[in-house]
C-alpha cells in the first residue's frame, strides 16, 4: 500500500491544510487553519502554549479528527485515514520509546508493522538508521539505559526507518539541557537534509524555530498569526503579536504626522518626533500606530552623534546586564523604558544612571497597526503601554 523498500531517500510529501477546525467543548483549539507545505520543507509551528500548535499536529497525525476542514497529503485527503495507514513518522515530546524493547527493536517496529521486509533487509535498514543517528553501538540496550539525548536519537531513527514522506516532531528537544539541545538542532537539520522528508516541527522555543526552519508558522489563539521565512518574520512582523513573540522588541505607541515617500514621521507619546520606514503602511496622518525597534538595532552613545537618517532619543540608563558577548540595557526615555542590546565594546563605557543617546537608522523602525484586523485581542499583546 505504500512505496517503501526503495534504498534511496524518500522525498517529502506535500501537505495541505484546508480550513482545518477542531473544537473542544466551547473552545476552538484550531480555528480555520489553511496551510500549504511544499515537499521537503522544514516547517515549524511556533506559538505559546494553548495556541493550537499541538492540536494541529495531532490532527495531521490522525490522533484527532477535525470538526471541519480537510488535510491533503500529496493531493489526497487523509482526514478519514486512521493514523497507522498514514505513513507518517513521529517524534514525541517524551520520546515514547517502547520500554520493553531494545533500541533495535524500537527502531525496527515500524518495519515490522508496515512492511514485509525480510529479516535480513530489516536488519540492514535498522543498522543504516542507527548509523544515521550515530547509535550503532547501543543497538541492544533498553531505552532506560540511555541518556535523554540518546533516547531522542532512537526516537528519530524509529520515526524515519520506514522512509515516511512526512515527519512530525512534537517539541522533541524540550526535555534536553541547552547545550544538548543546540547539538541536536544541528543533528536534526543534518538528518533532514540527508533524508529529504517533509518535517512539521512543533515548538514554543522561538530561537529553535528560527534556526532550524525553512518556514515558520506563528500561531496565536488557534489561528495563524503569520507565515514566513525566519528572516521575514523577524524583520517584517505582520502584527504586534508576532513582533512581540519573536525576539525582544521595543513597541512604541505613536501617532502619524506625515507620510512622505518611504518614510513616515510619527510623534511618540512624550512628544518626540521620529521617523520610521513606511513598509506596507497605507494609513494617513493622524493614525495611531506602534513603532517597532529591535533592541539590537539601537546604538547607545554617551556623546551626541549626528547623522542623516538617524533617529535620536535621550534617556537614562536604568539597568545593565552582562551577557558575555553583549550588554542588555534598559534606558528610561520619558515615561517609556526602552531596551537596547549593544556589543561588548560599545557597552563597556556605559554606567548605571548615566544620560545616554539612543540612535537608530530610520529604516529599522517598523510600523505596526495597534489592532490587527483579523484579531482584536492582539492589541494588548504589546509590551510597553
Q: Are 209 and 46 in contact (CB under 8 A)?
A: yes
Q: Does 162 bind other proteins (CB under 8 A)?
A: yes
- Compute CA distances 287 → 261, 264, 330, 383, whole Å: 17, 11, 28, 20
Q: Return the number of the residue (54 or 249) whose C-beta is nearest other proteins.
A: 54
Q: Are 98 and 112 in contact (CB under 8 A)?
A: no
Of positions 17, 35, 78, 90, contacts other proteins by CB under 8 A: 90
Least distance (Å) between residue 42 CB and other proteins: 19
Q: Are 68 and 29 in contact (CB under 8 A)?
A: no
Q: Are 246 and 229 in contact (CB under 8 A)?
A: no
Q: Which of 54, 15, 71, 91 is nearest to 202 (CA)?
A: 54
- Measured in residues, the chain has a length of 385
Q: Does 96 bind other proteins (CB under 8 A)?
A: yes
Least distance (Å) between residue 195 CB and other proteins: 16
Distance between CA atoms of residues 71 and 333, nearest Å: 50
Q: Which of 379, 356, 370, 218 is nearest to 291 (CA)?
A: 370
Q: Return the number of the residue (84 or 124) whose C-beta is nearest other proteins.
A: 84
Of positions 63, 231, 273, 314, contacts other proteins by CB under 8 A: 63
Of positions 24, 65, 84, 307, contacts other proteins by CB under 8 A: 84
Q: Does 82 bind other proteins (CB under 8 A)?
A: yes
Q: Are 273 and 265 in contact (CB under 8 A)?
A: yes
Least distance (Å) between residue 144 CB and other proteins: 5
- Compute CA distances 204 → 50, 80, 140, 210, whole Å: 10, 29, 34, 11
Matching residue, cell 499583546: 381
Distance between CA atoms of residues 54 and 38, nearest Å: 20
Least distance (Å) between residue 96 CB and other proteins: 4
Q: Return the number of the residue (112 or 344) whose C-beta is nearest other proteins.
A: 112
Q: Return the number of the residue (98 or 322) whose C-beta is nearest other proteins.
A: 98
Q: Does 99 bind other proteins (CB under 8 A)?
A: yes
Tell me the three cell numbers of residue 228. 514566513
Q: Are 57 and 170 in contact (CB under 8 A)?
A: yes
With contacts defined by CB under 8 A, name the span among 44-52, 81-89, 207-215, 285-293 that binds other proteins: 81-89
Q: Return the number of the residue (201 or 234) whose C-beta is nearest other proteins.
A: 201
Of positions 159, 184, 264, 300, contacts other proteins by CB under 8 A: 159
Q: Return the number of the residue (168 or 365) whose C-beta is nearest other proteins.
A: 168
Q: Are 12 and 166 in contact (CB under 8 A)?
A: yes
Q: Of 123-152, which residues contact other proteins (CB under 8 A)?
A: 144
Q: Does 322 bind other proteins (CB under 8 A)?
A: no
Q: Return the number of the residue (145 or 270) whose C-beta is nearest other proteins.
A: 145
Residues that bind other proteins (CB under 8 A): 61-63, 82-84, 86-90, 92, 94, 96-100, 109-110, 112-114, 144, 158-159, 162, 168
Amino acid at each position: 500500500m505504500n512505496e517503501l523498500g526503495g534504498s534511496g531517500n524518500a522525498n517529502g510529501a506535500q501537505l495541505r491544510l484546508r480550513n482545518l477546525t477542531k473544537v473542544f467543548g466551547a473552545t476552538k483549539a484550531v480555528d480555520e487553519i489553511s496551510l500549504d507545505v511544499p515537499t521537503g520543507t522544514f516547517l515549524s509551528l511556533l506559538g505559546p502554549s494553548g495556541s493550537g500548535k499541538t492540536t494541529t499536529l495531532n490532527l495531521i497525525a490522525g490522533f484527532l479528527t477535525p470538526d471541519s476542514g480537510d488535510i491533503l497529503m500529496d493531493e489526497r485527503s487523509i482526514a478519514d485515514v486512521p493514523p497507522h495507514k498514514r505513513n507518517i513518522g513521529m517524534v514525541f515530546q517524551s520520546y515514547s520509546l517502547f520500554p520493553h524493547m531494545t533500541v533495535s527493536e524500537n527502531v525496527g517496529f515500524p518495519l515490522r508493522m508496515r512492511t514485509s521486509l525480510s529479516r535480513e533487509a530489516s536488519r540492514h535498514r535498522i543498522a543504516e538508521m542507527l548509523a544515521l543517528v550515530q547509535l550503532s553501538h547501543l543497538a541492544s540496550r533498553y531505552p532506560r539505559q540511555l541518556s535523554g539525548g540518546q533516547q531522542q536519537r532512537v526516537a528519530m531513527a524509529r520515526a524515519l526507518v520506514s522512509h515516511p514522506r512526512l515527519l512530525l516532531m512534537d517539541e522533541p528537544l524540550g526535555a534536553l539541557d541547552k547545550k544538548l539541545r543546540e547539538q541536536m538542532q544541528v543533528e536534526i537539520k543534518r538528518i533532514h537534509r540527508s533524508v529529504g522528508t517533509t518535517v512539521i516541527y512543533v515548538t514554543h522555543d522561538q530561537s529553535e524555530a528560527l534556526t532550524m526552519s525553512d518556514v515558520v508558522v506563528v500561531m496565536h489563539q488557534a489561528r495563524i498569526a503569520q507565515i514566513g521565512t525566519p528572516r521575514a518574520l523577524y524583520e517584517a512582523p505582520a502584527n504586534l503579536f508576532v513582533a512581540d513573540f519573536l525576539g525582544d522588541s521595543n513597541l512604541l505607541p505613536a501617532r502619524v504626522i506625515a507620510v512622505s515617500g518611504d518614510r513616515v514621521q510619527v510623534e511618540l507619546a512624550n512628544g518626540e518626533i521620529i521617523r520610521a520606514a513606511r513598509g506596507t503602511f497605507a494609513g494617513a496622518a493622524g493614525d495611531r500606530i506602534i513603532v517597532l525597534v529591535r533592541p539590537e538595532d539601537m546604538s547607545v552613545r554617551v556623546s551626541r552623534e549626528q547623522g542623516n537618517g538617524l533617529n535620536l532619543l535621550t534617556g537614562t540608563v536604568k539597568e545593565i546586564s552582562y551577557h558575555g558577548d553583549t550588554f542588555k540595557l534598559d534606558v528610561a526615555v520619558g515615561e517609556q523604558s526602552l531596551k537596547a542590546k549593544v556589543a561588548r565594546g560599545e557597552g563597556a563605557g556605559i554606567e548605571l544612571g548615566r544620560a545616554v543617546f539612543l540612535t537608530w537608522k530610520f529604516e529599522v523602525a517598523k510600523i505596526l497597526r495597534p489592532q490587527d484586523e483579523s484579531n482584536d485581542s492582539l492589541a494588548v499583546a504589546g509590551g510597553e503601554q
